[in-house]
Amino acid sequence: MKFLHIADAHLDSPFKGLSYLPSKLWQSVYDSTYLAFESAINQAIDNQVDFVLVVGDTFDGPKPSLHAQKFVAKQFERLNKVGITVFLTFGNHDYYKAENYAFDYSNNVVIFNSEVQTKNITTKKGLPVDIVGFSYVQNHITKNIVQNFPEVSKNHYTIGMIHGALATSDINQDNYAPFEIADLIKKNYHYYALGHIHKREIVSQRPLAVYSGNLQGRHINESGQKGCYLVTVDEQTFETNLTFIQTGQIIFDKLVVKLDQVTDIQRLQDKIEKALDLITVQQMKMVKLVIQNSQFLSLNAKEIINQTNLLDEISQNIDYSVILYDVELEVNHKIDMTEIDEIYFEEAKDSLLNQTIVSEKLRPLLKKYLPVEQLIDHPNDLTKQVQQLVQLELSEAVTRSEESED
């Protein structure tokens, strides 16, 4: 028996943080989630799987566009034509409301509702398979749904579909059908197809519980290869093996250039280009440049970075598949302060540099160094980035003061 485990396609992802890109490049980025989903369907057909598991967040929101709906319906119909069944759950992003959907899926698509349900299929060789799952109908589920999963039927290969997260002590994180590994062990299923976490991970070997990750990375925090799992099962012993299949069309990556002395723009460009030469290119890469110890940049170099298209200039001299799309200036030293000044600075940093203050009061600072939209759209990175920028401003002020004294 073979089946494909996919999750978190996030079709309709707006890629708002990259909307400043040239229109043709932005369109390639936007289309990447669709091409990744189509690639997964191609793999299901090419490998002649018995069925496909789609574990939530196929769409990026609860009101998917007609384009996205029509696209998915077409892909499922392709599977229908070759006799492949689809088992579909809805996640916290695309939680199901019937009135938001304009297309009916073909007869090969089995949809789970908000209650725990068991769906059945028999393989070509006669193995009965039970698939247990549930869908979201709102964007949060705080209860442990796995506790409601039924027991295993004798001689049935049993799969649990869970769009959720491992329970943690952080009450702010337990909003997505939280479960414990002990819950999975107790049920004694043969395979748990997990979704929601965008990082590929095997969280348990016995029983086998697997996050396939998302099909396509959407920003630097979703870096590396993305895809799905082809799962092969021995129908006599139930031994289960995984094969990762890459579907991502674009890889997000980070390039770190570390400075150790005062550096002008020419030396900086040379260091960046040498570092880029070491990048292995097999497909399109969106690369974020991080300049560590940026306090060593000359003031002129900083102005050129912030006021000209340096990244575009460098990109013209490298492989066309590598796109430098962002730059982060990172300060890696502490500014000399008196003890009392350092205490006040740390208190101010923690209390004032929050998202509200940044968006309302610090836009000129953000505008100077980074695309404002990118930071605002990624609040998890916001505070760290702004704190770095404040330190950079202070470092510049100290440098200017020293130069004026000379």
How much is the average pLDDT of 63-68? 96
What is the predicted pLDDT for the residue at 52? 98
195 plus 264 within the same structural domain: no
Amino acid of residue 324? L
What is the predicted pLDDT for the residue at 368? 47
Whether residue 59 is predicted with pLDDT greater than 90 in this model: the reply is yes
Residue where one domain finishes, among candidates 191, 211, 246: 246
Between 209 and 346, name the one with better pLDDT: 209
What is the predicted pLDDT for the residue at 369? 47
89 plus 228 within the same structural domain: yes
Residues 3/53, Cβ–Cβ less than 8 Å: yes
Share of the chain above pLDDT 90, in %: 57
Residue where one domain finishes, among candidates 218, 246, 274: 246
What is the predicted pLDDT for the residue at 165? 94
Whether residue 218 is predicted with pLDDT greater than 60 in this model: the reply is yes
Range of the domain at 380: 254-405
What is the predicted pLDDT for the residue at 199? 94
Whether residue 67 is predicted with pLDDT greater than 70 in this model: the reply is yes
230 plus 258 within the same structural domain: no
Count of domains for the chain: 2
Share of the chain above pLDDT 70, in %: 79
How much is the average pLDDT of 56-70? 96
What is the pLDDT confidence band of residue 210, given thresholds at 50, 70 and 90?
A: very high
Residues 196/9, Cβ–Cβ less than 8 Å: no
Tens digit of pLDDT for each residue in 125-134? 999 999 999 9
260 plus 236 within the same structural domain: no
Tens digit of pLDDT for each residue in 142-158? 999 999 999 999 999 99
170 plus 233 within the same structural domain: yes
Residue where one domain finishes, among candidates 215, 246, 277: 246
174 plus 31 within the same structural domain: yes
How much is the average pLDDT of 271-286? 84
Residues 128/233, Cβ–Cβ less than 8 Å: no
- What gap in Å lies between CA 131 and CA 160, rounded to an integer? 6
Tens digit of pLDDT for each residue in 196-206? 999 999 999 99
287 plus 378 within the same structural domain: yes
Full strand arrangement of the beta sheet holding 322-330:
250-258, 284-292, 322-330
Between 283 and 76, name the one with better pLDDT: 76
100 plus 135 within the same structural domain: yes
203 plus 186 within the same structural domain: yes
**CB half-sphere exposure, 246, CA atoms < 13 A:** 10
227 plus 277 within the same structural domain: no
Whether residue 278 is predicted with pLDDT greater than 90 in this model: the reply is no
What is the pLDDT confidence band of residue 7, given thresholds at 50, 70 and 90?
A: very high
| CA Rg value for the chain | 25
Whether residue 332 is predicted with pLDDT greater than 50 in this model: the reply is yes
- What gap in Å lies between CA 350 and CA 365, rounded to an integer? 18
297 plus 271 within the same structural domain: yes
From 126, 19, 14, 4, select the one nearest 55 (Cα to Cα).
Answer: 4
**CB half-sphere exposure, 317, CA atoms < 13 A:** 12
Whether residue 361 is predicted with pLDDT greater than 60 in this model: the reply is no
Tens digit of pLDDT for each residue in 69-126? 999 999 999 999 999 999 999 999 999 999 998 888 999 999 999 999 999 999 989 9
Between 335 and 212, name the one with better pLDDT: 212
241 plus 270 within the same structural domain: no
Tens digit of pLDDT for each residue in 251-271? 999 999 999 888 888 888 888
- What gap in Å lies between CA 296 and CA 301, rounded to an integer? 10
What CATH number is attached to the domain comprising 94?
Answer: 3.60.21.10
Regarding beta strands 227-233 and 128-133, do their DSSP bridges make them parallel or antiparallel, or are they unpaired?
Answer: unpaired
How much is the average pLDDT of 338-342? 65
